[in-house]
Structure 1
Amino acid sequence: MNSQKTIYYIALSLFSLAILGSILNYSMNYEMVVETFIKLGYPIYLIHVLAVCQSIGLILILFNKPHWSLEWVYAGFFMNFTLGALAHLAIKDGNGASAVICIVLLFVTYIQSRKIRDNSNELAEFGKYV
């Protein structure tokens, strides 16, 4: 159980840093991000939407409350990274490696948070009957 929490917190820290870096990149290098979005064929207004949604999603993942919205957050991040990697591959603008790394970190945090939550629920259930 302790090693699962360690893996979870390491992956969550790396994932959080990647998302915070992405959000800061949207605001600090706005002109470069606009050029990239135009090259990828995405509308420019999507930059602000992604920044807000990533901020909200990161906050929800950090609080890690077992709720239906958390599942949607993980799904949203997965779609965002997958479509981003595919868009970069489609126009041959890099290989989307950062998106793939974020997908791996996202899977690790999702699986480990589920294991930790399930183990906590089992312990709570066991305590009821003892």
Structure 2
Amino acid sequence: MNLNKIIYWVSTTLLGVLLLMSAGMYIFNYLAIEEAFKSFGYPTYLIYPLAIAKTTAVLVLVIQKQSIIKEWVYSALFFEIVLAFFAHFMIGDGEQTAAVIAMALLILSYIFGKRTFKNSIV
């Protein structure tokens, strides 16, 4: 296994674990997440769809090599992570560190995924 593939799989796996932990919190700790969403000013009916979307995103990142769907997942996760960062930053709860880590892992996964699967058919 070459270095590009190792970096891709480590960053993608860590990103996947982070997203699945977040989705798990959305499902199993609903009341705390509901309060957080209210403090952000977000509608609480987004909690379960976001948990499903994060879980689906992890599946696509792990299963797909290079495809249009995977590109969409990367872009959706980019916007989700940016919005999470600014939501935590704006209310000043100091919880934006996870978003910074997630963004670094997302960028590493994207760049090294392109290098690893550059010869794959879309």
Offset, 1:64: 2.4
Contact 2:65/2:117 (8 A) holds in 1: no
Offset, 1:28: 1.3
Runs of 4+ aligned residues of structure 1 deviating over 3 Å after TM superposition are none
Say if 2:103 is the partner of 1:103.
Answer: yes
Aligned to 1:74: 74
Taking the aligned partners of 1:32 and 1:90, their CA distance within structure 2 comes to: 19
Return the TM-score normalized by structure 2: 0.93
Kindly, what percent of the aligned residue pairs are identical?
A: 34
Unaligned runs of 5+ in 2: none
Alignment of 1:47-126 (within 5 A): 47-118=47-118, 121=119
Aligned to 1:26: 26
Offset, 1:91: 1.3
Taking the aligned partners of 2:4 and 2:67, their CA distance within structure 1 comes to: 21
Offset, 1:65: 3.0
Higher relative contact order (CA 8 A, sep 6+): 2
The one-letter amino acid paired with 2:9 is: Y
Unaligned runs of 5+ in 1: 123-130
Taking the aligned partners of 1:85 and 1:75, their CA distance within structure 2 comes to: 15
Taking the aligned partners of 2:33 and 2:95, their CA distance within structure 1 comes to: 17
Q: CA RMSD in A?
A: 1.6
Offset, 1:33: 0.2
Taking the aligned partners of 2:67 and 2:111, their CA distance within structure 1 comes to: 15
Taking the aligned partners of 2:51 and 2:68, their CA distance within structure 1 comes to: 22
Return the TM-score normalized by structure 1: 0.87
Aligned to 1:13: 13
From the CA coordinates, give the structure whose radius of gyration is larger. 1
